[in-house]
Amino acid sequence: MKRILLLLVFLLAISSRGWAQMPKIEGLDQMPMDTIVKEVKDYARQRIFYKVSFVEDTEQPEKRTEAQCVLEIGHHGSSFKDFYRLATDSLVDDVVKKNGTFMELFGRVSGWAKNKKWYTALLKGYPAGEDYHQTSVSILFEFVEYSCPSPTFDWQVGEETKEIMGYMCRKATCHHSGRDYTAWYAEEIPLSDGPYIFRGLPGLIVAISSDDGEYTFELNGQQEITFSSPIYLELKKRTYKKTREEARIIIRNMHENCAEIFANTVKIKASNPEFLGKLMDRFRS
């Protein structure tokens, strides 16, 4: 499974960066596959979709990244992750169950690779009172994981209201981890939850943004679940289980040295040095 996923990610990375031609490798189309290895924690009963906009480089605040994320509401907690990460995992499982081939999978997910922008999957409340963060830190399916107590928020609820996505929402503010946040929640949606780590209001958080403008989350869709949809933690061999402080250091180092880590780990034997050079230049950028 590890070899299959590594090759899939490598091919997706190439195609999403301008090299769309498939390699001619004998037997590639018949390569066996397996489902995503996971630890199921719960099953979703509802999905809440959020458009996320954030600044990756604080020295270039004018450059924003947009992601499509999904909050899955379970029976005992919830999960927040990039929608395209969830969609890719679901498709892998579906193709395997139907005895599909690697080439069939690649053809269906190649357009999604470039859309994955939010790299942390968050499980909230499994077990109760605890959160679990799993962050993808490189193209090689390396993960950094850590758990921590679920945060509490000292919400200050005001009188101001406005309509968002057809819901009459009330304003609330808080200070958390060095930032001030303004949230809008809908009491008519009786879920004390919200995007990413945010929760604790008497209704779903429909929109929230940091007052410095670096992070914004806004509701853009809902889906009732009428089928089996597991809330899970991916199980990866290449995983660093650390404290929150250690994880932040690793994530920063991975981002700053992505190209070198990729080259040294995969140890590509390229017959075309020019091609490898172009690939490394693109990862560095």
d(CA 61, CA 55): 6
User: pLDDT at position 33, please?
Assistant: 62
Predicted TM-score (pTM) of the model is 0.78
Q: pLDDT tens, 42-56? A: 999 999 999 999 998
Q: pLDDT tens, 57-106? A: 777 888 899 999 999 999 999 999 999 999 988 888 888 888 777 777 77
**Listed residue (106, 156, 160, 146) closest to 233, CA to CA:** 146
* Residues, the chain: 285
Give every strand in the sheet of 120-124, ordered side by side: 156-164, 167-176, 179-186, 204-210, 215-224, 46-54, 65-73, 78-82, 120-124, 130-136, 143-149, 239-241
d(CA 44, CA 79): 9
Q: pLDDT tens, 230-242? A: 999 888 777 777 7
Residue 172 has pLDDT above 70, yes or no: yes
User: pLDDT at position 99, please?
Assistant: 79
Residue 71 phi, psi dihedral angles, 5° rounding: -100, 120
Q: pLDDT tens, 8-40? A: 544 444 444 443 444 444 444 555 566 788 999
| Mean pLDDT of all residues belonging to the chain | 80
**Hey, is 114 helix, strand or coil?**
helix
Residue 197 phi, psi dihedral angles, 5° rounding: -80, -10
User: pLDDT at position 219, please?
Assistant: 97
Least confident of 135-139, 183-187, 219-223: 135-139
